[in-house]
Amino acid sequence: MTKFSDLNLNPKVLKAIQEAGYENPTPIQAGAIPPALEGRDVLGIAQTGTGKTASFTLPLITQLARGRARARMPRSLVLCPTRELAAQVAENFDTYAKHVKLSKALLIGGVSFKEQDILIDKGVDVLIATPGRLLDHFERGKLILNDVKVMVVDEADRMLDMGFIPDIERIFGLTPFTRQTLFFSATMAPEIERITNTFLSNPERIEVARQATASETIEQGVVMFKGSRRDREASEKRKVLRLMIDAEGEKCTNAIIFCNRKTDVDIVAKSLKKYGYDAAPIHGDLDQSQRTRTLDGFRAGELRFLVASDVAARGLDVPSVSHVFNFDVPSHAEDYVHRIGRTGRAGRDGKAMMICAPRDEKNFDAIEKLIQREIPRLDNPLGTPAPAAEATEEPKAEKPKRTRAPRKPKADAPEAEAAPVEAPQSEAPTPVEAAPEQAQEAKPEKSTGRGRGSTGGRGRSSNREDRGGNKVVGLGDHTPSFIELSFEERRAS
């Protein structure tokens, strides 16, 4: 078995590794460190939690042990997609470089530009940054990238998901063509493949596991959930989460709960607090100081449940996370691998459980296809949803019967409605025979001007005589007798 002492690392770096308690490198470390020390470009593909950070941190420190940085001109550059991941890289650098006199600067959002400018002005050997904040400093004229000898891109697939690829391409253009590039990713999307073909020169490719596969030490499961009613689905889903946590009992020492939306992160965190669970939210809209306090509390064991968005799926290096709960099925299948990779790290056992609603089944199928395995189905803690669904559908089937309720008076008064039905049958021939002739003779009357009948002055009086002296008929068989009188007859009466 390969040991760190076999990798030609700086003796001072080896001393720091021993003090940290590590003896043997992981497969990605054993494969990436030798070519990186030789100055070759490296393309590393490995699942999360396999030690990719040390794969570039250790050779980087060894290479930079000689030399000195100049003001505003860093000697190396490490790009990370999130603030948390950048902070994790900075912590690794401090751990392994404590016996080597190297300086570093961390450029992330949520921190004062002035403090970062002071560090850059002094000159740094390692610049760890997120793409947006790095370009902000460059555009302000505070940073020069012409002296970058080694450039590292960490979690490149996450860069793609967050829309950083144009920024990455621009940063590549600002660094020297002769730089060494170390490129690490958990998956290799076609866009990532294009970038590596463009900016890496004959890289050494190290792939220690199938692309986008979950660690074998992680026990997985999914609850197929369906709410009893649409307006109760959200609250019932949160209840399912609480029951899943309770079912794990003492085995769940701490856990990360992932939601797709920031609003759901806040809602789930407040719900857990309401029911007595020690939980706190973390997502991109929170202040950086609050995010840092929350993460520190979770790492220290002071906080049991961390409710997070995907901003925390990368960069959380907490070795002892016992459980991961996916409150929502991730929209991108690759994110599932990164989420559950927060548990089962460094060879430890872990458990990842997910709640899948009917609308999420398409994304769930994509996850199973990506990881090339079927995720075991778990029993719904609320029971089978089918009876509840059928109960809600029964009232819908009875609605048409309710609309017929107004017809009940038929049974109450059959004789009252029977009379008008018989009358038209006996007297119908009389108006039917007269109507065609009289209707034709009544039409010319409209052109003679407005009538002066008792029903109004718009020329439509039904008690008007036509030129032939015939009475207008058209009101049916029950026309009152006074209406059938002509104007003169009524006037005379």
DSSP letters, 361-427, are HHHHHHHHHHHTSPPPEE--TT--SHHHHHHHHHHHHHHHHHTTGGGTHHHH-HHHHHHHHHHHHHH
In a domain, 480, yes or no: yes
On whether the CB atoms of residues 398 and 367 are closer than 8 A, the answer is no
Residue 407 pLDDT more than 50? yes
Residues 12 and 73 in one domain: yes
Compute the average pLDDT of residues 337-360.
86
Q: Which residue has the tokens 């009613």?
A: 229
Identify whether the C-beta of residue 4 lies closer than 8 Å to the C-beta of residue 61: no
Average pLDDT for the chain: 80
Q: Residue 91 falls within a domain, yes or no?
A: yes
pLDDT at 369 over 60: yes
Query: Of the ranges 19-23, 34-38, 123-127, 232-236, which one carries the lowest mean pLDDT score?
Result: 19-23
Measure CA 452 to chain center: 75
Q: Given 155, 175, 207, which residue is the final one in a domain?
A: 207
Q: What is the pLDDT of residue 217?
A: 80
- Over 70: is that where the pLDDT of 363 sits? yes
CA angle 231, 236, 242 (to 5 degrees): 155
Question: Is 35 in contact with 105 (CB distance < 8 Å)?
Answer: no
How far are the Cα atoms of 252, 272, 299 from residue 276, in angstroms, in the given order?
15, 6, 20
* Contact between residue 85 and residue 162 where contact means Cβ atoms under 8 Å apart: no
With contact defined as beta carbons under 8 Å apart, do 302 and 284 qualify? no
pLDDT band at 197 (very low <50, low <70, confident <90, very high): very high
Average pLDDT on 130-158 reads 93
CATH of the domain at 339: 3.40.50.300
State how many domains the chain has: 3
Residue 257 lies in a domain: yes
**Are 354 and 286 part of one and the same domain?**
yes
Residues 152 and 294 in one domain: no
The answer as to whether 357 is a domain residue is: yes
Tokens of 407: 């017809």
Of the candidate ranges 78-87, 169-178, 257-266, 344-353, the one whose mean pLDDT is the lowest: 344-353
Structural domain containing residue 456:
429-492
Task: State the pTM of this model.
Answer: 0.61
Considering the domain architecture, whether residues 173 and 269 belong to the same structural domain is answered as no
Same domain, 451 and 363: no
Residue 238 has pLDDT above 90, yes or no: yes
pLDDT of residue 13: 94
Question: Looking at the structure, do residues 18 and 149 belong to the same domain, yes or no?
Answer: yes
**63 and 133 assigned to the same domain:** yes
- Statement: residue 57 has pLDDT above 90: yes
Whether residue 349 sits in one domain with residue 264: yes
| pLDDT score of 411 more than 90 | no
Does pLDDT of 9 surpass 60? yes
Q: What is the DSSP string of 24-81?
A: S--HHHHHHHHHHHTT--EEEE--TTS-HHHHHHHHHHHHHTSS--BTTB-SEEEE-S
Is 83 inside any structural domain?
yes
Point out the least confidently predicted range of 65-74, 468-477, 480-489: 468-477
pLDDT value at 210 more than 90 = no
| Backbone φ/ψ region at 259: left (φ over 0), alpha (ψ -120 to 50), beta | beta
Residues 24 and 149 in one domain: yes
Is residue 422 in some structural domain? no
pLDDT tens digits, 286-298: 887 888 889 889 9
Mean of pLDDT values over 295-321: 81
406 occurs within a structural domain = no
pLDDT tens string 443-452: 444 444 444 4
